[in-house]
Structure formats: C-alpha cells, structure tokens
Amino acid sequence: MSRAGKIARRTFLIGSAAIAGGVAFGVYMAKKPIPNPLLDDLKDGEAAITPFVKIDAEGITLITPRADKGQGAYSIQAYLIAEELDIDPATAMITPGMPGQAYYNASVLSEGVPFPAYQDGFVAETLRDFMSVPAKLFSIQMTGGSSTVPDGFDRMRLAGATARETLKEAAARRVGVARGDLRTENGAVILPDGTSIAYTDLAAEAAEIDPVTDVTLRPASAWRYLGKPDLPRLDMLRKCTGTEVYGIDMEFQDMLHATVRANPAVGTAGARVDASAAEGMRGVEKILPVSNGVGVIANNTWRAFQAAEALEIEWSAPDYPGTSEGIFATLEQALGDPDSYDHRQRNEGDVDAALEAGEVIEARYRIPYLAHAPMEPMNAVVRVLDAQVEIWTGTQIPLFIRDRAATIAGVEPEAVKVYVLPMGGSFGHRLEMTHVEQAVELALAVPGRHLKLTWSREEDMSHDYPRPASVAAGRGKVADGKVMAFDLSVSQSAMAPEWFGRLSGMSLPGPDATITTGSWDQPFDIPDYRVTGYRAPSMVPVSSWRSVGASGNGFYHDSFLDELIHAAGADPLAERIRLCLHEPARKVLEAVGEMSGWDGPSIAEGRGRGVGFCMSFGVPCAQVIEVTQTDEGIRIDQVYVAVDVGEVLDPTNLEAQVFGGVIFGLGHAMNCALTYENHAPLETNYHAYEGMRLYQAPQIEVRALSNGSRIRGVGEPGVPPAAPALANAIFAATGQRIRELPLNKHIDFV
Amino acid sequence: MKLTVNGTEHEVDVEPEMPLLWVLRDELNIKGPKYGCGIAQCGACTVHVDGMAVRSCQLPVGDLEGGVTTIEGLGTPERLHAVQAAWVAHQVAQCGYCQSGQIMQAAALLDLNPEPSDAEIDAVMSGNLCRCGTYPRIRAAIHDAAQKLSEA
Ligand code: FES
Ligand code: FES
C-alpha cells in the first residue's frame, strides 16, 4: 500500500499552505529549511544524500535517530532505509548520528490531539499533521510514545528511495543512459549490460547533483525485509555475546568515576553534608556539591559508591506530603472537586440525568507510584575541554540534553556533542536528564578529563520520576442486561506539564491529557458516557512510564466496565463487543475470544478467565487471562493477546514487544509500588520491587491483526490491558473484586 | 593481587573487599558482566568461577578462588557457545542488558543438568531479572540449547 499523497504532505509541505491555516505556533519558522546536522561532520568525498544515509568510498552509513532502549528501534529503522536503498543492512554502518532538528519526531506529539485515535476523519487527520509543526519547533528529536515506526515508516523509506534514485541518476549521467534503464541490487547500480557500479563508487558524483525526490515507494508486496518472519535484529549477536557497548560500558584513558547522592525528596534543594569520613577513602579525588545533592569523584565506580555511602547528610524537606497516606488523601480530595477540574473530553448523553434515580453502581480505585527501574542504571560520560562539551549517554531526548548542558557549561548548544548509546532499558526513565546535568556539573570541575557518572541502583530508584499515583471513581447504571451509563472521574497530579517544564523551562498551557488518556478515548458507544480529569496538586515529581496515561486509565476504565457488565448479568466479552464502535477494535476482541475458546468467565471451580481491553497509541489491544486459585495463591495459566498495528513490519519483534508489554503490565500490577515514608520511597532496590520473575511468567500467545488504517508502534499498547484482564480473571475465579494496585496487597500469587 | 579471567592472568592493585564485578569492569575493562543491583537480586553480574555461576557483585576479590569466565570467555560472535546460539536463534534479547547474566546462568545450569524441566529452569533462572520481559523466549532457548548440546 503506497501512500504517496500523504507522504508528500507530511514530509515536504509540512509548513506550506496545505496545512498552514490556523497554526498558532508560527508557520514561518516551520517553513524554514531545517539545518542538516550531518553537513557539519562530513569528510571530503562524502555525499550527504539525505540526513538518513551517508555514503563514502569506504561504505554506507545509515543514521537511525530514534534511540534503542530494547524495543528494536535500531534494527527497524535500518531495515526501513535498506528496504528502498537495496542494501543488506548487516553490511552497513548504523549509527544514531548527532542530534539534529532534522530528526524531529512528528508522531510523538500527534497523539496529543483532542481526537480519539479511532477517529480517522478529515479534521482529526489534519490536526494530527498540524501537530508535527510544534514538534519541529520544539526540536523534539525524541524517542517515545510508540512513535518510532509511525514516524519513520514513510520518512526513512523515502530517504532510502531518494538515495537510491539519486545514485542511479549519478550512474546514468556517468555512462550516458536513462535512469529508467538502470536497477539496483545489493549496494550497487546495475547497468543494462549487467555491469554493476558500487554505490560507494558513485558517492562523489551523487554529491554534485540535485537529489531525485519524485520517488514512489514500493508496495508491501515487493518488500524484501519488512513484514517477513524471522527478520533478525541487527543488534542480537552483540547482545548475546556481551559485546554491545551501553553507556555504562564507555571507557576512556584516565577516566574518572563518579556518583551522587541527591535529596530523596526529588527536586528539593538544601542539605547539610559531613564528608569527613568519605574524604580520606582510597581512590576518592573530590567531593563536590551538585544540584540538590553531593557528588563524589573517584578512580573506580565501587570506590565512589563506598564514599558516597559514607557521607553524613541531613536533607531538607519538600512542601508536599511525605507519606503515601498523605499523598493519597490529597488525590482523593481533588477527585470531584470543582476547583480541581481539569478537562472532560468525553461527555455523551446526559450522565447526570441518567444517574439521578434508580440503582447506581459505584466503585473507587487507586494505583501507586511506580519506578521505571530499567536494568541499566542512569549514567553518563562527560568531558569538558576548551569550551566544548562531549556527552556519551543512552537517552531518548538528546536535543534537550544538548541545550541543558550548554546552559550549565555556559557555551553555545553547537559546542555540545551528544553521542547516543544503546540503552539497557528505559520504560520512560531516559526521558529525564537529571543524571546528565549532575555529570556536566562534576565534569566542569575536572576539565579535560572524561568523567563517568553512575547512579547506584538505590539512587536510580529513589531519584526516578515515577509513574503518577492516582485515584478514580466510577458510577454507572445497567438495564436489561446492558451497560447504559458510565461515568469515570480520575484525579492525578499533572504529569505532562511538569515533565515538559523540567526539560524545556517552558510551561505547557491547557489541560493535562495524560490524566485521562486511556479512558476518555476508548472506542465504545454507551448511551450516557462521561470521563472527567481532576488535577491534584504537584507532589512527588512524576513522568512518563511505559504506556503513560493508559497505564492507569486502562485499569480504571476496563475494570469498571467489567463491574458494570457483571452487574448487568451480561457476558464480559460479548458485551464489550456489542458496545464497541470501532471495527479493528471489535476484531481484536473477537480474536482473543477465538484464541481462548471463550465460553464465559468461569472455567471450573476455582478457575476463571478475564478479558481486558485498552486502545492506546492508536492500537487496540485485547487480552484474555486464565487463572487458577491454588493453595499457594493465584496462578496465571495462560494469556491470549490480540493487537492491531495497521501493518506488521517485524513479526518476530512484535511478538517480543507484546510479551514484554504483558509481563511489564502484569508484574507491576501484581507486585510493585513505591511507598513513601519521610518523602522517600521505601523500595530502593529489586528485592522490594521485582516486577516479574521467570517463575511467575505465564504462557503468552500473540496474534497481530492488520485492520487499522494507520501504521502504529507496539512498544507500549501491550501494557494497559494486562492489569484489568488479570483483576477481572481473579474476580471470575474467586468472586473477589480488587480495585487497588498492586494486587498482592489483597491476594497472594504463586 | 593476581586473578585469571578467561584464561589470562591479570595483576591488580585493589583492596580485597572490592567486589569482583568492579575489578572486572573498572580495573580490567571487561564489560560483559553488568551492574544492575549490587545486592545479588538481579543476576546481571553473573560470571563463572571454576564453572559455577557466581554473582560477581557479591564476591570480594580477595575471596576469589579459581579461574573466572565471563560472557566474553564463554563464546565470541565468531564462535558462539550453544546457549548463545540458541539465544540468537530465538531472538531473545530486547535491551540485552540482563542477557550476559542470563546466558552465563543458563550455561551453568545446562552444565549441571543437561535436560532441565520447566520447573527446574524456573528455579534456577528466577534469580536473573529481566525488566524487558524476555522470559518466554529464555525458556524456549534453554530447551533448544539443551537439545543441541545433547546431540553434540
Ligand atoms: S548486580 Fe549482582 S546480582 Fe545484581
Ligand atoms: S533484555 Fe532488557 S532487561 Fe532483559
């Protein structure tokens, strides 16, 4: 399926009249040509054909600007380019490149539009395209929001195709034949007589001519890599041999090793420090203040950790409640309070009238703060030399880091180079940059030396910006075996404005959609249907966590829907299907029904199944979970998942991402919370915050459908339905309805 | 102080309490073993000492007795160990950060128990955390490696 019209509109006319009318952000700036970051770095003889492909006599380099945190971005971006460029990506150099505005991420903001993702009408589509203009203005070269594939699908193939046709044009001019008579294969242009000229041999000539931009993308039926089963990930061999170099593995001659201790009340300054015990310890070179804490510079990471532990520190307290109890009381207070009203993006029928009389079903829910806790703790290597700053780190936000480092070091952004490295997980943690700020502060004290800052696991977990805690209240009504009224209110501190403010220093006006994302935008048709967001005061500073707003809202919306369906006496799956107004979503519900052989929520005495559904990032995902009540607790027997990403580019990795999403969703729903005491979480390492271990991991079966109209990413949509599907299954097996996460506060698991 | 890693003898000048993990990573620049928790809760730092899986973050280098094998010594991209080959075949790794430890643990398991059941795999491998959730493929890859090793 080629979508050339759409491609032209998005890639080239993004700031033009076609989408100009009414953009509030300044079309003029968006129309200015975007500087090509590669041009700064080009050696003689290299031809910069597009910012995604570099070719010189030595070889072909593919630039994959979306960072790999485990989701396979590195690999799929290279395949997208290679598919049109006609090369084997395993033979190319692949690098994330220098951060640059040309790599702005149009898709990550496009889900912020006030249209649910299942609406594909003209206005919704146009607004989604508008939103790529602010992405460009805000310089958001960002990885997140399951956006790598949707954002790169057209652009990176187009880059490959443009490069290919330009190389053909160069060959055509050299030998005096028409470009149309040439073809390409395996990194070479093939002449009509069968002679081949390597791309690398054409690089210099290709640099001399205007790029050929009137290219047509190949239809899926002609694909050689994309959509094929067993597409190997290009980083797999390195990751199975210990040879992948993560940020934490960077090594330089005479490098210093540092760590920090910062105020456990995140974002709060002020401390009294006694460093006398730490100062004389072996290998300790310097102990210095950093923002909100203290840094130790030593000649070995362990020595830095030991010295940091030996510091005696008295922290000052923040102005928000210091305990989980106080935090939840604040959230409860804002829930339904007109002064805390934030937004209501769904309001159908007349909910107030519907709930005025008769039997109203009510339920209250809550979810805790959660840490991201990726396996690789936060780290960064920084060197400051002659007013230049170099940074090596695994990050989703290289441009924000560049600008902040420039401010801290007092240099121009152009004097900062950010080298993005593979990440040992993120789940949203690497959308923050406190550790890089600290590393720059410390590196300024040791000019000319490389300094690696590593957070201990304890520092990493207690200085995470967690997934927001929130509370919700559902009120609803059923009649004649049907769900008739659904009213959900959610109260949470504002997440998106806090995060954006931390990164950019700018305030994000308007409501915070993340409070209800995953509940207001579900593809159901209920006669009286309303979802309202309430903004609680800022407390523990919070951030995005894999699947963002939907991580909690998926639980709220689907749990309450399940309660209403049970109250109506309807079948949980059949009633969801009846209420569903979006064809691809209905199909995933039907698919999990078929996969699980669904014949009702009860399987046998002590055995039950639950269905969970959430549409997030435009991807409808349904899950059926089967559980058994045993003497040792609940055992998860089997999970069936159906998703629709529009078009599956890498089936093997899609399955891996869904496995990972389900396990992430289940593990945290079952076992994890950050509990606050004295302004700090009690859980600071994996013994108290496990997620899921192998022995709890269920069998998971995945089916990918392709009925959706747009191509979508799958890194996150597997997460939200897992928690409600499990809670609904536990209800089916035991009759116990659990409305608070983690579930293990209320029930044991095997 | 002397220690042998992947067949090579090294001399290091460190305090005996320094955990083997940090001697490997920061003194010898052997980066395959990873730091994840420092308290024996994640297994990312797993290496072999005389063939036994050991959490290197917990072993003071002064207490080390025997030769150390890290993932770099188990197999190389050109010459994969059967467990690594199974990991590649099953496309196990996502972020990959835990996988050095997972592979070292699995190799030690198969050494002691060439045909582990699912329950035995669960018991031995549950000390190795994977935050990306690669567990279903880890199970499959271990069975596959077991079979390949028994045929060899
Ligand atoms: S770092 Fe050794 S077990 Fe986690
Ligand atoms: S693959 Fe990422 S932690 Fe295991």
Q: What is the pLDDT of residue A137?
A: 40
User: How many of the other CB atoms lie within 10 Å of CB of A332?
Assistant: 16
With bands split at pLDDT 50, 70 and 90, how would you rate the model's confidence at A51? low
Mean pLDDT of A171-180: 96
Q: Which of A109-113, A330-334, A354-358 is predicted most confidently?
A: A330-334
- A602 versus A24: the higher-pLDDT residue is A602
Residues from chain A contacting residue B28 (CB–CB below 8 Å): none
Q: What is the pLDDT of residue A507?
A: 80
Inter-chain CB pairs, A–B, below 8 Å: 185
Domain assignment present for residue A13? The answer is no
pTM of the predicted model as reported, rounded to 2 decimal places? 0.91
Torsion of CA A344, A346, A350, A353, to 10 degrees: -50
Same domain for A616 and A679: yes
Mean pLDDT of A546-574: 97
Q: What is the pLDDT of residue A639?
A: 98
What's the CA-to-centroid distance between A302 and ligand 1, angstroms?
13
Mean pLDDT of A430-454: 97
Using a 6 Å cutoff on CB, does residue B98 contact ligand 2? Answer: yes
A236/B91 Cβ within 8 A? yes
> What whole-number percentage of chain A has pLDDT above 90?
71
Q: Is the pLDDT of residue A44 over 50?
A: no
Domain assignment present for residue A181? The answer is yes
Domain assignment present for residue A264? The answer is yes
Same domain for A607 and A727: yes
Q: Of all protein residues, whose CA lies closest to atom 4 belonging to ligand 2?
A: B130
Distance of CA A17 to the CA centre of its chain: 32
Domain assignment present for residue A29? The answer is no
B19/A694 Cβ within 8 A? no
- State the architecture of B2-73 in CATH terms: Roll (3.10)
Q: Is the pLDDT of residue A144 over 80?
A: no
Residues whose CB is less than 8 angstroms from the CB of residue A276 and which lie 6 or more positions away in sequence, other chains included: none
Same domain for A688 and A621: yes
Torsion of CA A171, A174, A179, A184, to 10 degrees: -20
Query: Could you say which of A232, A246, A661 has the minimum Cβ distance to residue B97?
Result: A246
Beta bridge partners of A638: A626, A699
Q: Which residues of chain B have pLDDT under 70?
A: none
Q: What is the pLDDT of residue A661?
A: 97
Q: Cα–Cα–Cα angle for A497, A503, A504, nearest 5°?
A: 85
The two tokens of residue A500 are 């954006």
What's the CA-to-centroid distance between B31 and ligand 1, angstroms?
14
The two tokens of residue A441 are 């502060």
Residues A48/A54, Cβ–Cβ less than 8 Å? yes
With bands split at pLDDT 50, 70 and 90, how would you rate the model's confidence at A681? very high
**Closest ligand, as measured to the CA of A660:** 2
B133/A660 Cβ within 8 A? yes
pLDDT digit string, tens, across residues A72-129? 888 999 999 999 999 999 999 888 766 554 455 555 544 444 455 555 444 444 344 4
Mean pLDDT of A482-510: 92
pLDDT digit string, tens, across residues A271-289? 789 999 999 999 999 999 9
B15 in A contact zone (CB under 8 Å): yes
Whose tokens are 């309807």? That residue is: A570
Using a 6 Å cutoff on CB, does residue B37 contact ligand 2? Answer: no
Residue that finishes a domain, picked among A239, A257, A289: A239
Pocket of ligand 1 (CB under 6 A): B 35-38, 40-45, 55, 57
Domain assignment present for residue A115? The answer is no
pLDDT digit string, tens, across residues A191-246? 999 999 999 898 888 877 877 878 889 999 999 999 999 899 999 999 999 999 99
What's the CA-to-centroid distance between B63 and ligand 1, angstroms?
17
Query: Could you say which of B31, B37, B131 has the minimum Cβ distance to residue A374?
Result: B131
With bands split at pLDDT 50, 70 and 90, how would you rate the model's confidence at A52? confident
Q: What is the pLDDT of residue A142?
A: 61
Give DSSP secondary structure letters for A703-746. EEE---SS----SSTTSTTHHHHHHHHHHHHHS----BSSGGGT
Q: What is the pLDDT of residue A224?
A: 95
Q: Is the pLDDT of residue A134 over 70?
A: no
| Residue A302 lies in domain | 247-318+378-454
B51 in A contact zone (CB under 8 Å): no
Same domain for A588 and A474: yes
Same domain for A671 and A690: yes
With bands split at pLDDT 50, 70 and 90, how would you rate the model's confidence at A594? very high
Same domain for A414 and A289: yes
Domain assignment present for residue A131? The answer is no
Same domain for A337 and A207: no
The two tokens of residue A118 are 């299942």
Q: Cα–Cα–Cα angle for A637, A639, A642, nearest 5°?
A: 165
Instruction: State the burial class of residue B91 (Cβ atoms within 10 Å of its Cβ: 0-12, 13-18, 19+).
Output: buried
**Closest ligand, as measured to the CA of B138:** 2
Q: What is the pLDDT of residue A2?
A: 33
**Closest ligand, as measured to the CA of A693:** 2
Q: What is the pLDDT of residue A104?
A: 53
B130/A664 Cβ within 8 A? no
Domain assignment present for residue A736? The answer is yes
Q: Is the ipTM of this complex over 0.95?
A: yes
- State the architecture of B76-151 in CATH terms: Orthogonal Bundle (1.10)
The two tokens of residue A271 are 């401390």
Whose tokens are 């993120």? That residue is: A426
Same domain for A547 and A645: yes
Using a 6 Å cutoff on CB, does residue B97 contact ligand 2? Answer: yes
A302/B93 Cβ within 8 A? no
The shortest C-alpha distance from B118 to chain A (Å) reads 9
The mean predicted confidence, pLDDT, of chain A is: 87
The sheet that has A196-198: what strands, in order across it? A183-185, A188-190, A196-198
Same domain for A494 and A580: yes
The shortest C-alpha distance from A462 to chain B (Å) reads 13
Domain assignment present for residue A623? The answer is yes
Q: What is the pLDDT of residue A162?
A: 83
Q: What is the pLDDT of residue A210?
A: 78
Residue that finishes a domain, picked among A421, A454, A487: A454
Same domain for A191 and A266: no
Which mutation among B20, B42, B97, B129 tests ligand 1's pocket best, with the greatest number of atoms within 8 A of CB? B42
> What whole-number percentage of chain A has pLDDT above 70?
86
Query: Could you say which of B41, B100, B137 has the minimum Cβ distance to residue A686?
Result: B41
Same domain for A537 and A679: yes
Q: What is the pLDDT of residue A271?
A: 74
Total count of domains within chain A? 3
A233/B91 Cβ within 8 A? yes
The shortest C-alpha distance from B151 to chain A (Å) reads 22
Mean pLDDT of A592-615: 97
- A489 versus A229: the higher-pLDDT residue is A489
Phi/psi at A746 (5° precision): -120, -20
Q: What is the pLDDT of residue A141?
A: 58
Q: What is the pLDDT of residue A157?
A: 87
Residue that finishes a domain, picked among A211, A239, A267: A239
Q: Where in chain B is the domain with CATH 3.10.20.30?
A: 2-73
Domain with A428 in it: what CATH number?
3.30.365.10
Same domain for A441 and A332: no
- A4 versus A558: the higher-pLDDT residue is A558
